Copies of this chain bind each other. A is one copy, B any other.
Amino acid sequence: MESIPFDVMDPDCPSRVVLQRIGDKWTPLIVHALKDGTLRFSELRVAVGGITPKVLTQTLRTLERDGLVERTVFAEVPVRVEYRLTALGESLLGPLDAVRAWAESHAGNILQARDAFDATV
């Protein structure tokens, strides 16, 4: 095995696919919503404002497939489904939260920069 197996700057490297997955529209929000533990489908829907059930399902399936989220179905009536981060998913929490925190704390600067830029053009 090599010392640097993956390189996002290489267009053919799988890590680039991974980078885009975790950088998609909803993944960061869902992962962040699950940081404190288990949530049910409907709770996730509320926690992640604005997401439609279809897209939530889609994203959760992808996250499950990628080994970031674990899905547990309880055979009750009505049925209960719980989602939680796997160890791999939890390891993503830190990096993702850093970006999220940056976005929240610098959103003002960016909005400001946009206004300034648009004013000159």
Residue pair A67, B98 in contact (C-beta under 8 Å): no
Q: Is chain A's binding surface mostly helix, strand, loop or mixed?
A: helix
Q: In this complex, which of A8, A14, A108 has the most chain B Cβ atoms within 10 angstroms of its Cβ?
A: A8
Residues of B within 8 A of A74 (CB): none
Interface size class, chain A: 35 or more
A80: CB under 8 A from chain B? no
* Residues from chain B with Cβ under 8 Å of A12 in the complex: 49
* Interface positions of A from 1 to 47, Cβ below 8 Å from B: 4-25, 28-29, 32-33, 47
Known: A28-B23, A94-B98, A95-B102. A114 touches B8 (CB 8 A): no
**Contact code string A80-121 (vs B, CB < 8 Å = 1, else 0):** 000000001001101110111111111111111110111000
